Amino acid sequence: MEKPVRTTFSSAVAESAQDYIQRGWTVAETANGVCLVTDENIAGIEVTGDTAAFVRRYLRANDLTGPVIEIPGAERREIHLVTGLAKAARAIEALRESGVVVYSDGAGIPLPPSKLSAGAACWGVAPHESRWIPPVVAIAAGVRAAAKGARPQAARIAS
């Protein structure tokens, strides 16, 4: 069954919404901007604080970086866009047990330039700057390595 996709947006968000739609993402307009509606093809993993910084370095060191949304606030918050949730139940369970927020199954993720209480969401790594959207297991590996205190260079994934 095909999902209905909204194709008309207010002028304030129309350009960014159209860019996201062209990527095949389902988006919805909110009072604050536009949000990604997660589905079986795309989801989000939110990491915070020192773990967020470690995961970003880990992904870069292993050439696994994908789109990352930075959420403003007192503590560092990043949402990594991911794929592959259907085949990663154990990785998702481990992420949730470690305190990471998993956005899936229709949850909304604020997309830049959405306004939030502490400022505007922005791209830490924009979709056009990344070569892909990584699988959730890549982020799970970074979170697991952060929990063990490994250095990103020493925690390289075997090729």
Per-residue pLDDT of 43-98, as tens digits, reads 999 999 999 999 999 999 999 999 999 998 889 999 999 999 999 999 999 999 99
pLDDT of residue 10: 55
pLDDT of residue 33: 86
> Is 1's pLDDT higher than 50?
no
Cα(137)–Cα(82) distance, integer angstroms: 9
pLDDT digits (tens, 9 = 90+) for 90-104: 999 999 999 999 999
Which H or E element spans position 55? helix 49-61
pLDDT of residue 81: 98
Burial readout 54-83 (b: 16 or more C-beta within 10 A, e: otherwise): bbbbbbebbebbbbbbbbeeeebbbbbbbb
* Contact call for residues 82 and 141 (beta carbons, < 8 A): no
> Is 41's pLDDT higher than 50?
yes
pLDDT, greater one: 147 or 155:
147
